[in-house]
Amino acid sequence: MTDRYCVFGHPIGHSKSPSIHAAFAEQTGEAIEYTAIEAPLDDFCGAWQRFVAAGGRGANVTVPFKEDAFRCCDVLSTRARRAGAVNTLVLSGNGKSSDFKVHGDTTDGVGLVRDLVRHGVALEGARILVLGAGGAVRGVLEPLLAQAPQSLQVANRTAAKAEALAHDFSDLGAIIGSGFEDVQGPFDLVINGTSASLSGELPPLPDTLFSPSAGAYDMMYGAEPTVFLRWAAARGAGTMDGLGMLVEQAAESFFQWRGKRSDTAPVLERLRRSL
């Protein structure tokens, strides 16, 4: 019997997750069916429950449902609890009895760190700046701080949001929050977690942001470099986009469902060619 998985979103037609997980399944010899489902904006948990009732075993969750998924879980990982959001749902038990449990995790931060390591970025002892204070940033702070950077600054247009976020994670390492106007640098790594790239905008940043041999990472990706990456490259930074993060977070979800590690390199290469 083929086990069923899916990705929930709204909209979801653009999702690359079905092709990614089909490639993982082919690699590992796992018999799964993975589809994309557009859940109603006002009834995510209902959509998940209907999927389970139809034989679903687990799901990925993308915008705008990660906080809704958090509220549908019986058991949360530590990092999901801190993030206040879930992108991976795992069903324990047979899915039909009254005692099954819904486990929730967030694999975004793991995906980011693994992609940075793949690029050869040294995180231990690094000075890191993260731009933005929304859910995308909240989901990656714990894995970043676990790499023991020298410092991590979260900067946001609204300083109070960044300061509150830093306070929530202050027990994990050296982290501060600020407005964009208080960013000085230099930094060894700058991660753009804002949605500004989608609209072709840049946060107001100083030209002195990057140290020599610094890296710039945008969680967004596209066929062409984002405006943030173009700006960073013009100032001497090495640039990386978020396509690898997408593949690596998916690989962690697949491992949680099937207990098998996937080779992400050929999947990433195939996706890159298709952009």
Q: Is 96 annotated as a binding residue?
A: no
Q: Is 158 annotated as a binding residue?
A: yes
Phi and psi based region of residue 30 (left: phi greater than 0; alpha: psi -120 to 50; beta: remaining): beta
Q: Is 192 annotated as a binding residue?
A: no
Q: Is 156 annotated as a binding residue?
A: yes
CA distance 40 to 110: 28
As annotated, the active-site residues are 66
Instruction: Please classify residue 228 by burial: count the beta carbons closer than 10 Å to its beta carbon, then call 0-12 exposed, 13-18 middle and 19+ buried.
Output: buried
Q: Is 249 annotated as a binding residue?
A: yes
List C-alpha distances in Å: 263 to 26, 175, 199: 11, 33, 33
Q: Is 126 annotated as a binding residue?
A: no
Q: Is 219 annotated as a binding residue?
A: yes
Residue with tokens 């799901």: 59
Q: Is 2 annotated as a binding residue?
A: no
Q: What are phi and psi of 157, to 5 degrees?
A: -60, -40
Pairing of the two strands 3-9 and 75-76: unpaired
Q: Is 84 annotated as a binding residue?
A: no
Q: Which helix (H) or strand (E) holds 101?
A: none
Amino acid at 252: E
Q: Is 27 annotated as a binding residue?
A: no
> Binding site for shikimate, residues?
15-17, 62, 87, 108, 221, 249
> Binding site for NADP(+), residues?
132-136, 156-161, 219, 242
> Binding site, residues?
15-17, 62, 87, 108, 132-136, 156-161, 219, 221, 242, 249
